[in-house]
Amino acid sequence: MSEYSAPIADMQFVLEHVAGLADVNALPGMEDASADLVAEILAQSARFSSEVLSPLNRPGDLEGSRLEQGVVKTPRGFREAYRQFTEGGWNGLQFDPAIGGQGLPRLVGTPLMEMWNSANLSFSLCPLLTTGAIEALLLRGSAAQQAFYLPRMVSGEWTGTMNLTEPQAGSDLGLLKTRAVAHGDHYRLFGQKIFITYGDHDLAENIIHMVLARIDGAPPGVRGISLFIVPKILVNADGSLGERNDLRCLSLEHKLGIHASPTAIMQYGEREGAIGWLVGEENRGLETMFIMMNAARFAVGVEGLGMGERAYQRARDYARERIQSRDLSGGGESVPIIRHPDVRRMLMDMKSRVEAMRALAYVVAAALDRAHLHPDADERARSQAFVDLMIPVVKGWSTETGQEVASIAVQVHGGMGFIEETGAAQYYRDARITTIYEGTTGIQANDLLGRKLLRDGALTLRGVIAQIGECVGALALIEGESCGHCTVISRELGVAVSHLSTTVDWLIATAASDLRSAYAGAVPLLHLVGLVCGAWQLGRSARAAAGLLAAGDGDAEFLRAKITTARYFAEHALTRSASLQVEICRGAESVLALPESAF
């Protein structure tokens, strides 16, 4: 089985020519992120991913994390890999150097996350959760809390977790019951949390849990939830580790995939209560969590991309090796299956969808950087609006797509895909969680429709539609050798964006009178927006590639493949925009017609 090899050429192309690395490099504080430095960072991260993380992926899946005598043990090799990962400084790449980070933009962090996800999704979840906890503390932690905890979390010496879910409170956190009782300068927490990723493990000496709980006497529902910092091992005033806090991992879940990632059931307060400190104001915990969750949702979208890329590589390598049946165009000998049209179709489908996801994710990452750092307030606001619109799309569409790509990778293998040893099955199982955690696809779609579309009357989305229209126009004007392909992309993208536009009008009109019908079309809408925006970014990629080709700049073979791939996506994958429009605009009469008893 081949190890993961980072698609550096495509990553660099997207960074420099689609997402605008030079513009991000020009943002205040990002002067270090020059193209040559980024190239070196990508190369070194790629090596680490292929040589350290990727070889642990399958053994980690087979061995899994285990709970033994109250202690969670990660699979063999994970401790050493985590030590190398943190010593390499990768854990803190996006954080301020003042707290030990490297101060790199999100745009540069995104391809690195993609690599770690591709190489070993289970491993990469640990730093992802730590990043989430760090962001929550940066957002609302007191100066003292930040100084006390952040440096050792940024370095990776300690890891972090996010504790939201309880058995009765999943997507609806208003139902959560974990209690916090005031006790001098701190609180004592009692309750059970489930689905806690890396809730306990042996990679680091301490774990900083961020826990949502309800202070005694707080209002019911979402307005009575506060956020607490609850260390596994209490930290003395001098920074040394003190006593074990009153919390433990009761058990680990048995899951379909990501077996190496320990998913813990956590019990807080079996005796005197787990000691925790309030982060931010009382009853404002969920708000903090939601701001932070945006970053986490984006990161899970990149997991969809990473799994898609890994699965594509495996299928491509297998299609080159596997010799079966003769070439349709003649010849007596059996040939590698990559020569057969249907296999080729599957590979093009995977390749084009992965490249579309990558371009969209990196473009959103660049907008995240602009939203944080751009000197002009209007540009910051515009970028933030774009990011807010796109987060549910990157999360929902890229994970659904990544999972479909992983499924096709199994199909390319034929019977061998169903056999675990080829690796394709693991990617398929591992990818399956990405459409569920950090908000299911349904939750993302409802967020897109409700908060991002209906709330501003689709103002931001119409802005995006206008930008796509400009891209359609620009593609039609390309001359020279790329003219033929770009004309097709322009035409198909123009048709698809009109489907999106019609759908948006219908949804706005329908939602005013029949909200249930509109919401029944939320997930198809998510797919439609993802598909059209993915094609848009591939169209922009084709335009950039055509420009480079005309100038005689860069690898002509790569650039031509880029344009052809964009054409495939526009001509084939994008045709679903028509059926999605029909599916949504037909309304939900039959969707919602049956009585509950008929199911």
Partner 1 sequence: MKVLVPIKRVIDYNVKVRVRSDGTGVETANVKMSMNPFDEIAVEEAVRQKEAGVVSEIVVVSCGTTACQETLRTALAIGADRAILVDTAVELQPLAVAKLLRAVVDREQPRLVILGKQAIDDDCNQTGQMLAALLGWPQATFASKLVVEAESALVTREVDGGLETIRVGLPAVITTDLRLNEPRYVTLPNIMKAKKKTLDPVTPDALGVDVTPRLKTLRVDEPPKRKAGAKVPDAQTLADKLKNEAKVVQ
Binding footprint of partner 1 on the chain (CB under 8 A): 5, 8, 32, 36-37, 39-41, 43-44, 47-48, 51-52, 84, 87-90, 93, 102, 554-558
The set of long-range contacts for 40-46, using a CB threshold of 8 Å and a minimum separation of 24, is 41/104, 41/108, 41/112, 42/6, 42/8, 42/11, 42/12, 42/111, 42/112, 43/8, 45/6, 45/90, 45/111, 45/112, 45/115, 45/116, 46/5, 46/6, 46/8, 46/115
CB of 305 to partner 1, least distance (A): 22
Nearest-angstrom CA–CA distance, 254 and 265:
11
Bridge partners for 162 per DSSP: 210
Structure token digits, residue 273: 């209560």
Cα pseudo-dihedral 466, 469, 475, 476, rounded to 10: -140
Q: Would you say 47 or 344 has its CB closer to partner 1? A: 47
Tell me, what amino acid is at 76? R
Burial of 168 (0-12, 13-18, 19+ CB in 10 A): exposed
Is 438 among the catalytic positions?
A: yes
Q: Would you say 39 or 348 has its CB closer to partner 1? A: 39
Nearest-angstrom CA–CA distance, 161 and 133:
6
CB of 32 to partner 1, least distance (A): 6
Burial of 365 (0-12, 13-18, 19+ CB in 10 A): buried
Instruction: Give Cβ neighbours of residue 8 (< 8 Å, ≥ 6 apart).
Output: 42, 43, 46
CB of 115 to partner 1, least distance (A): 13
Bridge partners for 211 per DSSP: 163, 228
- State the pairing for strand pair 226-231/274-279: antiparallel
Q: Helix 483-513 vs helix 459-476: angle between axes, to the nearest 10 degrees?
A: 160
CB of 42 to partner 1, least distance (A): 10
Q: Which of 438, 583, 589, 596 is catalytic?
A: 438
CB of 282 to partner 1, least distance (A): 38
CB of 23 to partner 1, least distance (A): 20
Instruction: Give Cβ neighbours of residue 557 (< 8 Å, ≥ 6 apart).
Output: none
Nearest-angstrom CA–CA distance, 228 and 208:
10
Burial of 597 (0-12, 13-18, 19+ CB in 10 A): exposed
Please provide residue 24's backbone torsions phi and psi, each rounded to the nearest 5 degrees: -70, -40
Q: Which residue has the tokens 């580790």?
A: 241
Q: Would you say 30 or 431 has its CB closer to partner 1? A: 30
Q: Helix 341-373 vs helix 522-550: angle between axes, to the nearest 10 degrees?
A: 90
CB of 78 to partner 1, least distance (A): 16
CB of 377 to partner 1, least distance (A): 30
Catalytic residue list = 438
